[in-house]
Amino acid sequence: MGKGESTKRMIIEKSAYLINRNGMAGTSISAIMQATGLAKGGIYGNFLDKNEICRATFLYLVSDLSSKLTKLINSCNSAEFKFYSLLDFYENQMLDIGGCPIMNFGLEADDTNAEIAKIVGRSIVTFQKRIADIILFGQNNGELSQGVDAYKHAVKVFCLLEGGILCSKVLKSRAQLQLIIGMIKDEFRQLLN
């Protein structure tokens, strides 16, 4: 990796969680400069504008989450453990990084930034598919009932998790996310054969 790519990567890594917590509009170039230790020219020498930084940081955050979830899920042998591991990850990790970047960037971009909203939309579908794939895995190996529509269940679980994260962030308490995850686990147990 050359010096330019290394600097660009450092800007993304140091500003990613800042932007995830504070929002795209709420994160100034000055804050990014402070986080990275670079002058304005060092930032704009690597990115065309703040929107490009925001897009790059969202892709970095989602890629990081996706690789962690993939590693975690692939380490489990059963659909039950894969599903519970995914839920535990959401419960134990998402609030600590300022919330789910899919929700954070999506809420801000849906009416203000069509380019980022489109990227977030693809991420939503990808994360929902991950959940559906766990259910299909369980159905194919006889662990889970064939009577559940994997896609519909995955959409419901994803939306419940994202809503639980939002409520927990706003209320500054993990209680609602924990309640939602408990309900999702209870429902999942009913699907087990």
Q: Is the pLDDT of residue 2 over 80?
A: no
- The end-to-end CA distance of the chain, in Å, is 50
Tokens representing 29 are 């170039």
pLDDT digits (tens, 9 = 90+) for 119-152: 999 999 999 999 999 999 999 999 999 999 999 9
What amino acid occupies position 122?
R
Residue 108 covered by a domain: yes
Residue 6 covered by a domain: no
Tokens representing 175 are 């209680």
Residue 118 covered by a domain: yes
Cα gap 117→47, rounded to integer Å = 20
Tokens representing 177 are 């996310």
Say what the pLDDT of residue 7 is: 94
Residue 107 covered by a domain: yes
Residue 133 covered by a domain: yes
Residue 95 covered by a domain: yes
Tokens representing 71 are 């590693």
CATH of the domain at 175: 1.10.357.10
Q: Is the pLDDT of residue 1 over 70?
A: no
Residue 15 covered by a domain: no
Residue 144 sits in which domain range?
58-191
Number of domains making up the chain: 1
- In this prediction, residue 161 has a pLDDT band, given cuts at 50, 70 and 90, of very high
Are residues 89 and 68 in contact, defined by beta-carbon separation less than 8 angstroms?
Answer: yes
pTM: 0.93
Residue among 158, 157, 51 nearest 102 (CA): 158
pLDDT digits (tens, 9 = 90+) for 39-72: 999 999 999 999 999 999 999 999 999 999 999 9
Q: Is the pLDDT of residue 4 over 80?
A: no
Residue 22 covered by a domain: no
Cα gap 54→27, rounded to integer Å = 10
Cα gap 76→95, rounded to integer Å = 24
Are residues 153 and 135 in contact, defined by beta-carbon separation less than 8 angstroms?
Answer: yes
Are residues 112 and 174 in contact, defined by beta-carbon separation less than 8 angstroms?
Answer: no
